[in-house]
């Protein structure tokens, strides 16, 4: 690890720019951010940027949302506070299917859908259809269909 007076070009960038770079790395997942944290003190500070929590990929947790019931509380809380759409999806799943708290879950799932998380869009649209809110459900599912055809 470089000493404070002997920083690499990357480490010597302003924290705002490092935060932006690490937030892009965060899209790869938690392990990538962890590696950045271990590289140097400057990168570890940049990992605390709110953009990192917003963009952090939580794919393994989204595949098993119930794993966050007793684990990953700090990561989930930070991601939720910073508007991470995938974290809102995970929280919505837990609230709807585990805690049977539909009001809170629909808020999280709608936030996930508004954040353009595809699984959140799909689930929220389907739930709206099932709840009799046909137009709202169609509106969200149409968002999903148009995003698929744009690619």
Residue 6 has what pLDDT?
Answer: 77
Q: Summarize the confidence of residues 3-12 as an average pLDDT.
A: 75
Residue 91 has what pLDDT?
Answer: 98
Nearest residue to 83 via CA among 112, 106, 103: 112
Taking 90 as the threshold, does the pLDDT of residue 4 lie above it? no
147 within 8 A of 118, measured Cβ to Cβ: yes
Residue 9 has what pLDDT?
Answer: 87
Taking 90 as the threshold, does the pLDDT of residue 135 lie above it? yes
Taking 50 as the threshold, does the pLDDT of residue 138 lie above it? yes
Q: Taking the domains of the chain in order of start, what are their residue ranges?
A: 8-57, 58-151
pLDDT, averaged across the chain: 92
pLDDT tens per residue, range 46-55: 999 999 999 9
Which of 7-16, 59-68, 83-92, 124-133 is least confident? 7-16
Per cent of the chain over pLDDT 70 is 93
Q: Summarize the confidence of residues 16-45 as an average pLDDT.
A: 94
Residue 147 has what pLDDT?
Answer: 66
DSSP letters along 62-116, please?
HHSGGGGSSS-HHHHHHHHHTT-HHHHHHHHHIIIIIS--HHHHHHHHHHHHHTT
Residue 140 has what pLDDT?
Answer: 95
Place of tokens 């404070």: 4
Residue 1 has what pLDDT?
Answer: 46
């Amino acid at each position: 690890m470089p000493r404070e007076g002997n920083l690499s070009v990357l480490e010597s960038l302003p924290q705002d720019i490092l935060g932006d770079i690490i937030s892009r790395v965060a899209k790869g997942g938690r392990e990538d951010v962890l590696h950045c944290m271990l590289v140097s003190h400057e990168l570890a500070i940049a990992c605390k940027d709110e953009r990192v929590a917003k963009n952090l990929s939580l794919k393994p947790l989204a595949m098993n949302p119930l794993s966050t019931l007793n684990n990953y509380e700090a990561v989930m809380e930070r991601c939720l506070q910073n508007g991470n759409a995938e974290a809102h999806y995970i929280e919505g799943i837990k609230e709807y299917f585990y805690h049977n708290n539909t009001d809170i879950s629909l808020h999280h799932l709608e936030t996930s859908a508004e954040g353009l998380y595809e699984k959140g869009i799909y689930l929220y649209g389907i739930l709206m259809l099932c709840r009799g809110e046909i137009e709202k459900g169609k509106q969200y599912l149409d968002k999903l269909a148009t995003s698929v055809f744009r690619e």
